[in-house]
């Protein structure tokens, strides 16, 4: 069984749950106190989303989220508030993505096969660019959890 698959979801007939984790990666805008969030562009899907990916065997969700941020964006991060888990179907199978807010602490992006570019955007610009409504909900949860300066 794949590392990201763990038993049926409450008897779901579609099979095992795909487990993944990610972060709403953020930073303070250069030269100001406003916040920017990082979106990744995945050429395979042609979408803009937050960095995320499947858990490896026996990997804890938070460790997976931090690993995925580094792999997809080239940035290290400091995880903060837990955000809502996103649940949806992928090819008829249930998927659960655990999310955290995470402040970028350094690094630089290099394009790769999975992610060909990242964008640092204001929350309003990110809201307009995100492909999936579920990611817009994560952005809203992030903004609600963000500590005020």
pLDDT at 146: 86
Phi, psi of 48 (to 5 degrees): -115, 130
User: Which pTM does this prediction carry?
Assistant: 0.88
Distance of alpha carbon 109 from alpha carbon 40, whole angstroms = 10
Is the CB of residue 107 less than 8 Å from the CB of residue 76? yes
Residues of the chain with pLDDT under 70: 1-15, 148-149
CATH class of the domain whose range is 5-145: alpha beta
Q: Locate 27 and state its tokens.
A: 């930073």
CB atoms under 10 Å from CB of 121, counted, come to 19
pLDDT at 14: 54
pLDDT at 25: 98
pLDDT at 2: 42
pLDDT at 8: 43
Distance of alpha carbon 118 from alpha carbon 132, whole angstroms = 16
Is the CB of residue 24 less than 8 Å from the CB of residue 35? no
pLDDT at 149: 60
């Amino acid at each position: 069984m794949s590392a990201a698959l763990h038993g049926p979801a409450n008897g779901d007939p579609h099979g095992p749950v795909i487990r993944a984790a990610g972060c709403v990666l953020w930073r303070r805008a250069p030269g100001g106190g406003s916040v920017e969030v990082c979106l990744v562009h995945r050429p395979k899907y042609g979408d803009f989303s937050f960095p995320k990916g499947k858990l490896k065997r026996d990997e804890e969700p938070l460790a997976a989220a931090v690993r995925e941020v580094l792999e997809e964006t080239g940035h290290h991060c400091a995880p903060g508030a837990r955000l809502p888990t996103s649940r949806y179907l992928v090819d008829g199978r249930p998927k659960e993505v655990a999310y955290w807010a995470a402040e970028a602490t350094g690094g630089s992006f290099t394009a790769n096969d999975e992610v060909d570019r990242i964008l640092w955007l204001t929350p309003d610009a990110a809201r307009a660019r995100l492909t999936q409504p579920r990611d817009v909900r994560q952005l809203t949860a992030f903004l609600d959890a963000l500590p005020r300066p």
